[in-house]
Amino acid sequence: MGALESINRRFIRHPANIPVDIQSASETETEAPTECIRNISYGGLAIDSDHEWQVGDTLSMSIHVVEPAFDITGRVAWCHAADGHFELGIEFLDEVQGYRARMVEQVCQIEIYRCRILEQGGRKLTSKEAALEWIQRYAKSFPRMRND
């Protein structure tokens, strides 16, 4: 059992579906392909990737859905082939990165909410208005970081 799989047994996974640019930390000069974060936990991320990574690889990741972009570094804990792509587990290098990633996830959820309100109801909300509404409606049901 890998480190991230062990961590995920202690922490809740939060569905994310957030685009992320990912590349080897040693190859920051090349253009990073965009992958998709499937879920976030206190210990790391699960990502669907077109690329096979090796356990122990250090990766640089960037989420551009938020301004400014959120950059984070993680280490590959596991990588499994699945239906023409790879499922990838990336563990955070420290606790602070886990909390930062969780905050970015919330910002992304608020942005998704803002877009949904515009599409479904025709209401155009500022980011601040969307955040206030989202917090009032969903913050209590947003999964906690730890599974305790």
Residue 87's pLDDT band (cuts 50, 70, 90):
very high
Domain count, the chain: 1
In the chain, the amino acid numbered 100 is R
Strand pairing report for 58-63 and 44-49: unpaired
Residue range(s) defining the domain that contains residue 81: 1-148
Is 105 within 8 Å of 63 (Cβ atoms)? no
Q: Give the pTM.
A: 0.69
SS3 state of residue 3: helix
Instruction: Identify the pLDDT of residue 36.
Output: 84
For position 3, which CATH number holds? 2.40.10.220
DSSP 8-23: HHHB--EEEEEEEEEE
Q: Crossing angle for the helix pair 95-121 and 127-138, nearest 10 degrees?
A: 100
Please, what is the average pLDDT of the chain? 80
Instruction: Identify the pLDDT of residue 9.
Output: 42
Asked which of 5-9, 46-50, 55-59, 114-118 is least confident by mean pLDDT, the reply is 5-9
